[in-house]
């Protein structure tokens, strides 16, 4: 097992990666006042075992799904926290995927202006990305992650045990963020390319999780609150990805990020931000997880959502992080009109 430290200004955070991480979580929570937030999927798979892992904990189980990452579920969790009379020294444990991690993390950040929080991510996406870095949020008013906080978990426990029960769709979702990290970090990108044929194997995934966490920890430590601009790089593929997710909402977050990276590699190439060869390399990585980019009808609503994105510094424009060349990336701001033209590429039928 590896222990990766995230040195942020607000609070140090430790990520335990590998077999035995769940045991570490149990040890850490043993003598504490614990409040577990989980969802019906996790509860169905692990059932009584949750009670065995955390014998004295109050367990709050909410409905599963990306669409539940909303105000209603947030207050359902908060109501239960109040009912359990949690104090600032109590520890909230998010046991689930990114949605649970986000909602429990946000609830913990506002409850009494901050209760302790640990993350026990059960999906590949959450292990590789969302559980680390302390950016919990909920969707509201049709905008992704528009209400949230910068709030570091004290510890994150990424145990490969949980990956065994994941459906293929969830694996592909996690691959979206893994491939994004591979575009940002050339060494990770090389490892993905070298292992192209077994990227869904658990042995490969187990190792790449720690690599991705280590990369993210470095970025987060240098720019916890996205103030220097450095952390923005983690949003590669996300401008279009998030807007697609809001406009269509049937695929998973990771898949939309893959599709977003695909479109944005074309934008990067045509805007002269990126060489054609590197853009091709990005699309090749994307294709490892998303064999065929789907065709979308009526992309106008995608533009509307992209304009509402909180990463935009100005109204009426769309800002995105684009790949430049090996190990390099940069921000580009496009006018709404220009971005709308590029969105048209998503409507074209592809071979």
Active site residue 198: no
- 180 near its own copies (CB under 8 A): no
What would the two tokens of residue 244 be? 């697609």
Cβ distance to its own copies smaller for residue 59 or 308: 308
Binding its own copies by CB under 8 A: which of 154, 230, 312, 345? 312
Using the 8-state DSSP alphabet, how is residue 133 labeled?
S
CB nearer to its own copies: give 85 or 197: 85
Torsion sign across C-alpha atoms 183, 186, 187, 190: positive
Q: Which range of residues in 79-87, 94-102, 184-192, 237-245 is near its own copies by CB under 8 A?
A: 79-87
Which residue in the list 24, 66, 170, 177 is annotated as catalytic? 177
Q: And the tokens for 146? A: 């528009």
Q: Is 75 in the site for its own copies (CB under 8 A)?
A: yes
Whole-number Å distance between alpha carbons of 153 and 142: 27
**Tokens in use for 45?**
């798979």
Q: Report the distance separating Cα 22 and Cα 122, nearest Å.
A: 10
Q: Is 10 in the site for its own copies (CB under 8 A)?
A: yes
The HSE-up count of residue 87 (CA atoms within 13 Å, CB side) is 3
Q: Per rule CB under 8 A, is residue 314 in the interface with its own copies?
A: yes
Find the radius of gyration of the CA atoms of the chain.
20
Say which of 69, 80, 216, 281 is annotated catalytic.
Answer: 216
Residue 71's nearest CA partner among 153, 142, 8 is 142
Single out the catalytic residue among 68, 135, 144, 232: 135
Q: Cβ of 297: how many Cβ atoms within 10 Å?
A: 7
If one asks whether residue 3 binds its own copies (CB under 8 A), the answer comes out as no
3-class state of residue 213 by DSSP:
helix
Residue 58 structure tokens: 């109050």
Residues 105-134 close enough to bind its own copies by CB under 8 A: 109-114
User: In terms of CB distance, is 123 or 145 closer to its own copies?
Assistant: 145
DSSP 295: P
242 as an active site residue: the answer is: yes
Distance CA 29, CA 90 (A): 10
Residue 79 interacting with its own copies (CB under 8 A): yes
User: Is 113 considered catalytic here?
Assistant: yes
141 touches its own copies by CB under 8 A: yes
| Residue 232 in the binding site for its own copies (CB under 8 A) | no
Give the whole-angstrom CA distance, residue 278 versus residue 142: 34
- Output the six-digit token pair for 92: 């909230």
> Is the CB of residue 196 less than 8 Å from the CB of residue 220?
no
Stretch touching its own copies by CB under 8 A, among 35-43, 148-156, 268-276, 340-348: 148-156
Nearer to its own copies, 151 or 342 (CB): 151
292 vs 315, beta carbon nearer its own copies:
315
Q: Is residue 200 close enough to count as binding its own copies by CB under 8 A? A: no
Answer yes or no whether residue 12 interacts with its own copies by CB under 8 A: no
Rounded to 5°, the CA angle 62-68-69 comes to 105
Residue 297 in the binding site for its own copies (CB under 8 A): no
Summarize as ranges the residues that interact with its own copies (CB under 8 A). 9-10, 71, 75, 78-79, 82, 85, 87-89, 109-114, 135, 137, 140-141, 143, 145-150, 225, 308, 310, 312-315
Catalytically active residues are 113, 135, 177, 216, 226, 231, 235, 238, 242, 253
């Amino acid at each position: 097992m590896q222990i990766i430290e995230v040195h942020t200004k607000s609070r140090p955070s430790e990520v335990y990666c590998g077999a035995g991480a769940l045991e570490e979580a149990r040890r850490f929570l043993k003598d504490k006042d614990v409040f577990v937030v989980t969802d019906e999927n996790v509860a169905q798979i692990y059932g009584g075992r949750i009670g065995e892992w955390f014998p004295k904990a109050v367990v709050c189980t909410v409905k599963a799904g990306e669409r539940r990452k909303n105000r209603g579920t947030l207050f359902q969790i908060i109501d239960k926290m109040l009912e359990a009379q949690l104090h600032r020294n109590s520890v909230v444990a998010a046991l689930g995927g990114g949605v649970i991690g986000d909602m429990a993390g946000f609830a913990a950040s506002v409850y009494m202006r901050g209760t302790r929080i640990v993350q026990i991510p059960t999906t590949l996406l959450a292990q590789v990305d969302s559980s680390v870095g302390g950016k919990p949020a909920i969707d509201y008013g049709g905008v992704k992650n528009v209400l949230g906080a910068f709030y570091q978990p004290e510890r994150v426990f990424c145990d490969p045990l949980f990956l065994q029960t994941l459906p293929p769709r969830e694996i592909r979702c996690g691959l979206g963020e893994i491939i994004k990290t591979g575009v940002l970090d050339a060494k990770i990108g090389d490892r993905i390319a070298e292992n192209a044929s077994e990227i869904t194997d658990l042995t490969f995934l187990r190792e790449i999780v720690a690599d991705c966490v280590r990369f993210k920890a470095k970025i987060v430590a240098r720019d916890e609150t996205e103030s220097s601009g450095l952390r923005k790089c983690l949003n590669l593929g996300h401008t279009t990805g998030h807007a697609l997710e809001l406009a269509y909402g049937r695929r998973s977050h990771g898949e939309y990020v893959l599709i977003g990276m695909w479109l944005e590699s074309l934008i990067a190439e045509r805007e002269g931000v990126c060489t054609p060869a590197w853009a091709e390399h990005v699309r090749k990585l994307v294709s490892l997880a998303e064999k065929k980019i789907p065709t979308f009808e009526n992309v106008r609503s995608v533009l509307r959502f992209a304009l509402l994105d909180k990463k935009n510094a100005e109204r009426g424009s769309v800002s995105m992080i684009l790949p430049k060349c090996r190990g390099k990336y940069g921000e580009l701001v496009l006018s709404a009109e220009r971005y709308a033209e590029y969105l048209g590429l998503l409507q074209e039928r592809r071979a």
